Structure 1
Amino acid sequence: MPRGDAPPARQNRQTGPSHEERDPAAAARDCAYRLLARRDHSAAELRRKLLQRGFQDEIVQALLDRLTESGFLNDRRFAERWVEAALTSGRSFGPRLRMELQRRGIASELAAEVSARATTEIDEHAALRELVARKMPAFDPLTASDRERRRIFGYLQRRGFSTAAIISLLRAGTETG
């Protein structure tokens, strides 16, 4: 490159100008659409990601308002889908669901409502048995050592299962309910 020439403008993956070189509102909107195309986000998650990418707070807030009005951004929908996925995978149950939703930026009232509704619809003992059978197929509560039982107890408690349900499983084997 000759000495007097300016370096070429930065290009993003779509071979367009970087967000510093074009309308910041349009760049923020495009970035938000790309993020939402991958997965649902809470408003707080999307806000954090857009601010981390260098967009101004006023632009981000206006964009979040528009996305919420148009239905692209919905904290209730995000919370319900996240809870469903967490329950299906065995990642979380009970109080841990609420805590995880709040960590993802969901309002505490909404997090409590969605997690309470989801956990009342599911039999905790059945979910517990299913998780143990899937994650620890060789575990037999009748022949397990004290160390194994403590490890299983801690694992299940960290997932949010109640102490009573865990003890019931460990005492009665697979005959809980």
Structure 2
Amino acid sequence: MAPRTAEGLTGLELEEFARTVALDRLTDRDRSRSDLAGAMAKKGVPEEVAVVVLDRLEAAGLIDDERFARMWVESRQRVKGLARPALAVELRRHGIDDELARMVLDDQVRDEDEREVARRLVRGRISRLRGLDAQVQVRRLASLLARKGYPSSMAFEVVREELAADIEHSE
């Protein structure tokens, strides 16, 4: 049976354990180097051993922070409807440096796409708010977009446009 922590391991056993921890985490999806380092630290792998193992995995192409960031942005924008600021916070939480995050976000998140995602979010929620006071609808829909990281100016503009379109369609 495989050990649960690095306690008592030395030398090659320790490196093999660290490698196994990283590869286990990589089986279901890409991970950032920082995420893998954190997983190793939780298992008691010394930092100097983790660095050696992570360098090897990176050289082999199994760890790639840019690939991870691109995958993360695409997925979180599509599934959760997150805007650029919220995506940047999540990337930072995964240890992606600000320069790489900015590059990936500039490359993958276009203003018109972001606006369309905001519209889709509002359209998906608007039917549940029918019958409520107009100000309550605006406040709740704008709050939804704010929680997803959309700038308030865009949020209120999209909400007003979608509420007007909804009224027009229901007449």
Give TM class, smaller chain: 0.7 to 0.9
Q: Which digits, 9 at most, give the CA deviation of each residue in 1:45-88, with x for residues without a partner?
A: 11011011101111100001001110000000000000001111
TM-score by length of 2: 0.82
Q: Aligned-pair distance for 1:129?
A: 1.5
| Structure having the larger proportion of residues in helix | 2
Aligned 8 A contact 2:18 2:50 in 1: yes
Match of 2:78 in 1: 88
Q: Aligned-pair distance for 1:145?
A: 3.4
Q: Which amino acid aligns with 1:147?
A: V
Where 2:83 maps in the other structure, the secondary structure is coil
TM-score by length of 1: 0.80
Q: How many residues align?
A: 160
Match of 1:113 in 2: 103
Match of 2:94 in 1: 104
- Give ranges in structure 1 of 5+ residues lacking alignment: 1-14
Q: CA RMSD in A?
A: 2.3
Aligned 8 A contact 1:51 1:57 in 2: yes
Q: Which runs of 4+ in 1 moved over 3 A?
A: 16-22, 139-145
Residues 1-177 of structure 1 mapped to structure 2, 5 A cutoff:
15-16=1-2, 19-20=6-7, 23-120=13-110, 122-134=112-124, 136-139=125-128, 144-173=133-162, 175=165
Q: Aligned-pair distance for 1:142?
A: 9.4
Q: Aligned-pair distance for 1:28?
A: 0.9
- Provide the identity percentage: 29
- Give ranges in structure 2 of 5+ residues lacking alignment: 166-171
Structure with higher Rg: it is 1
